[in-house]
Amino acid sequence: QVELVESGGGLVQPGGSLRLSCEVSGKFYNVVSVGWYRQVPGLQREFVAAMVSGGGSNYGDSVKGRFAISRDNAKNTGYLQMDNLKPEDTAVYYCHASVRKNPGRPYDDYWGQGTQVTVSS
């Protein structure tokens, strides 16, 4: 069983910063990629950022220049550094990971349970 455990959410003032973590645990070979999505109740889940093992990254237009994705392969953990937070960033943030369970096999997709980020004055 592969599980994604998220942490780092909370309440922050506009202009403040938070760092989210996503640890991949369980039985697997390697983590191919990590990504972050966010969702407000009643709205469609929105792409935030993604990063492959080689270091390439992509960001949603609304967070470019403010958010930065990274990963620690030794810890099987992905991170999302969020700076200059705005009230419109308020959402539940979900971690996504593509995980290869066995060498040479296609990867499987997993989602974390989400962590609440609230930006308010």
Give, in order, the Cα–Cα distances in Å from 105 to each of 11, 17, 62, 102, 108: 40, 38, 35, 6, 9
At residue 49, the pLDDT reads 97
At residue 54, the pLDDT reads 73
Structure confidence by residue, pLDDT tens digits, 58-98:
999 999 999 999 999 889 999 999 999 999 999 999 999 99
Whether the Cβ atoms of residue 47 and residue 61 lie closer than 8 Å to each other = no
* Amino acid at position 97, single letter: A
Share of the chain above pLDDT 90, in %: 88
At residue 73, the pLDDT reads 85
> How confident is residue 52, by pLDDT bands cut at 50, 70 and 90?
confident
Which two structure tokens, joined as six digits, stand for 58? 């992509």
